[in-house]
Amino acid sequence: MKVLIVHAHPEPKSFSSALKDLAVNELQKAGHEIVLSDLYAMKFNPVASSADFGKRVDPDYCVYALEQRNGVSSSTISADIQQELDKLLQCDLLVLNFPLFWFSTPAILKGWIDRVLVSGRVYGGKRFYDRGGLRGKRVLVSITLGGQQHMFAKNGVHGPLDDMLKHLLRGTLAYTGLAVLPPFVAWHVPYVTHDDRVAMLASWREHILSLNEQIPLSFPSLNDFDDLLHPLRDVE
């Protein structure tokens, strides 16, 4: 199996980085081929702009998604985007490893998503959900955060973590056709004991080694909708 790990934490000694290192080591030991994109170490540019295209369809007005299509088809898209897109298209499993920033992804990871998940290849038209350009691949999300688990319960002070991750798990990953595996969450990381961190690493190792036993999350199928994307009568 070919695995692309996209890691987004600015501190190499962080617990998030320890999760990344463990994933690399365990997956390699299991015989898998690992490619790592450490976005901060790479100084990855997260800003989507007209500078991403060497040849423009419209030099006067940038419709980013349309320029992405042209950039890929004409091989004039920015080299750093093409390199990451090649890694993505060649992998069987994508792992996104990051700390939760303001109930969301770090900006550098959001920029990777904006620039690398290109229109026309990854999505476009009705190429989404189970018809998305990345169908047949799986994705695993690994998150660290400072809050305690009860704070993210249904009636918790912050509300469900699932609500915060919906934009990523459904609106990005499932939308592009990826089979989304249950995410791994490391809770309250800055404040727990060393033994707690060791236990979380053990849970992460178990999570990684049981990937083939995990059932992907459920998301819409376009087969349940008509041509105008209205739900069919027999779909609740």
Burial of residue 172 (number of CB atoms within 10 Å: 0-12, 13-18, 19+): buried
Only one residue has tokens 């919906």, namely 166
Give the contacts of 190 (CB within 8 A, at least 6 positions apart): 146
Instruction: Identify the pLDDT of residue 175.
Output: 97
Instruction: Identify the pLDDT of residue 208.
Output: 94
Handedness of CA 181, 182, 183, 189 (dihedral sign): negative
CB atoms within 10 A of CB 26: 17
| Integer Cα distance of 76 and 225 in angstroms | 36
pLDDT-based confidence at 166, cuts 50/70/90? very high
pLDDT tens digit sequence for 50-102? 999 999 999 999 999 999 999 999 999 999 999 999 999 999 999 999 999 99
| Integer Cα distance of 97 and 105 in angstroms | 10
Up-side HSE of residue 160: CA atoms within 13 Å toward CB? 5
Instruction: Identify the pLDDT of residue 215.
Output: 96
What backbone phi and psi angles, to 5 degrees, belong to 150? -65, -20
Instruction: Identify the pLDDT of residue 34.
Output: 98
Instruction: Identify the pLDDT of residue 5.
Output: 98
What backbone phi and psi angles, to 5 degrees, belong to 37? -115, 100
pLDDT tens digit sequence for 112-150? 999 999 999 999 999 999 999 999 999 999 999 999 999
* CATH number corresponding to 2-224: 3.40.50.360
pTM of the model: 0.94
Instruction: Identify the pLDDT of residue 234.
Output: 64
pLDDT tens digit sequence for 17-27? 999 999 999 99
Percent above pLDDT 70 for the chain: 99
Instruction: Identify the pLDDT of residue 236.
Output: 53
Q: Which of 106-120, 144-158, 221-235 has the highest mean pLDDT?
A: 106-120
The average confidence (pLDDT) of the chain is: 95
Q: What average pLDDT does this structure show over 201-218?
A: 95
pLDDT-based confidence at 233, cuts 50/70/90? confident
Q: Where are the domains of the chain?
A: 2-224
Q: What average pLDDT does this structure show over 176-186?
A: 97
